[in-house]
Homo-oligomer: A and B are copies of this chain.
Amino acid sequence: MTLTFTDPKSLDHDTIEEGTAFAPRFDAHGLIPVVTIEAGTNDVLMVAHMNAETLSLTLETGIAHYWSRSRRAIWKKGETSGELQEVVELRTDCDQDCIVMAVRQTGRGAACHTGRKSCFYRRVSVAGVEARLEDTGLPRLFDPKAVYGS
C-alpha cells in the first residue's frame, strides 16, 4: 500500500496554508526536510529528509523511514543500530515544505550516529569575531565503533 498525497500545484495559496489536504512540497530533488523531536520533551533529536516513498512508509508503518542523501537509499532509522523511532505525531507547516515528527526513540535512546541522544550536542559561542563550538555534555549512549564497526 502506498499513501497518496495531494499535488501542491493543484492547490491555491490559502488552501495550502489553511486546508485539510496534505500536499507536501517536495524540493527539486523530491525531498522534504524532517525535524525529528522526542515526544514529551520536544527535544530536537535530528534533522533529515524524506521523499514521497519514505514519507508514505513512515505513515504506513509508524516507524521512521528517511531518505539517505549520501547513500541514495531508503534509510530505516535504527536498522543497523537498533535505535528505531516510533512515530507519535507528524505535523507540517504553513506552506507544507517541512515536517516535524514526534517520536519515541527506542533502543538505547540515541538518535545520533555518534551515540548521543541528539545530533545537536554542541552550542555556538562567540568570542571576539570568532564563533566556536562547546560541547553541551550529552553522554554517548553507545560506542559508534562497536555498533557501526568503523
Contact = CB atoms under 8 A, between A and B. Distances in A.
Given A37-B44, A131-B5, A92 B120 contact: yes
Given A35-B47, A114-B17, A2 B129 contact: yes
A42 B37 contact: yes
A112 interface: yes
Contact of A3 (B2, B21, B129): B129
A138 to B, nearest CB: 10
B123 A94 contact: no
A8 interface: no
A30 to B, nearest CB: 16
A112 B95 CA distance: 11
Assembly stoichiometry (copies): 2
Nearest to A92: B122
Interface string A9-31: 00000000111111000000000
A86 B126 CA distance: 16
Contacts of A113: 94
B42 A44 contact: yes
A90 B124 contact: yes
Interface string A90-105: 1111100010100000
Interface of A: 1-5, 17-22, 33, 35, 37, 41-44, 46-47, 59-60, 89-94, 98, 100, 112-114, 119-124, 126, 129-134, 136
